[in-house]
């Protein structure tokens, strides 16, 4: 069973620790309308795929063959990779997701190996970022029940936003990922953090088996004399 939720909103985690995973359905209150930035339209179309807890699935009963990626359809990224003009193959992956996206000129998928990637990621239309891949001697594969925690995207200390999709003019997809804000010790006074930001009437963003975790906002500054 698959629940699909579509709302027009700015998907922004405003200083609240929020998380979801496979098996949990997100409910977005109708009265929540995050503020858009200057000159921005908060009318993004966001879709979330989830499997309800009562779906009656028993992992022990699932036949789960290994999944292998199609090299002709994607760019490959791994912590052991090197960014360069020819990176992006199984045997020579790029090192960062952001650079892998620039290499995916005519390919619809960026395959991301297990590991933690400390970077800011800007999405583009008609592209899917898929995490959870195991790499052994140049061979890429993953289980069909791979957890979303296997591939982590974490914001650098100078970034308030981890992943963003702005005025895409189409759809982007995030699959099998854990997206984190920067750490609590790096948060400035009064600073808000955002795990994923999707904005613009032409933006459609679909998330499947994605967990988002954002630490609390920074403490407010002292008031000024009146």
List Cβ neighbours of 218 (8 Å cut-off, separation of 6 or more). Answer: 187, 188, 189, 190, 191
Q: Give the DSSP H/E element, type plus range, for residue 101.
A: helix 97-103
Q: Which of 99, 135, 88 is nearest to 115 (CA)?
A: 135
Inform me whether the pLDDT recorded for 53 exceeds 80: no
Nearest to 121 by CA among 77, 69, 73, 71: 77
Q: Nearest-5° angle of CA 164, CA 105, CA 74?
A: 85
Q: Above 80 in pLDDT, residue 172?
A: yes
Q: Are the CB atoms for 176 and 150 separated by under 8 Å?
A: yes
In this model, does residue 138 exceed pLDDT 60? yes
Among residues of the chain, what percentage have pLDDT more than 90? 53
| Residue 206 β-bridge partners | 47, 173
Q: What is the mean pLDDT of residues 152-163?
A: 93
pLDDT at position 14 over 70: no
């Amino acid at each position: 069973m698959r629940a699909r939720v579509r709302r027009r909103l700015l998907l922004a985690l405003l200083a609240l620790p929020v998380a979801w995973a496979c098996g949990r359905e997100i409910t977005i209150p109708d009265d929540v309308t995050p503020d858009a930035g200057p000159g921005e339209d908060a009318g993004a179309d966001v879709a979330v795929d989830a499997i309800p807890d009562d779906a009656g699935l028993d992992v022990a009963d699932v036949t789960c063959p290994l999944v292998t990626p199609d090299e002709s359809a994607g760019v490959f990224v791994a912590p052991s990779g090197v960014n360069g003009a020819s990176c992006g193959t199984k045997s020579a992956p790029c090192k960062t997701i952001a650079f892998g996206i620039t290499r995916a000129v005519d390919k619809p998928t960026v395959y991301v190996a297990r590991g933690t990637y400390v970077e800011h990621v800007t999405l583009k239309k008609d592209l899917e970022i898929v995490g959870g891949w195991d790499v052994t001697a140049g061979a890429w594969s993953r289980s069909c029940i791979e957890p979303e925690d296997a591939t982590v995207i974490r914001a650098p200390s100078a970034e308030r936003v981890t992943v963003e999709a702005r005025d895409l003019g189409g759809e982007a997809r995030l699959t099998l990922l854990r997206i984190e804000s920067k750490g609590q010790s790096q948060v400035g006074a009064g600073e808000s953090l955002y795990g994923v930001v999707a904005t613009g009437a032409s933006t459609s963003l679909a998330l499947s088996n994605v967990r988002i975790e954002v630490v609390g906002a920074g403490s407010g500054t002292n008031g000024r004399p009146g």
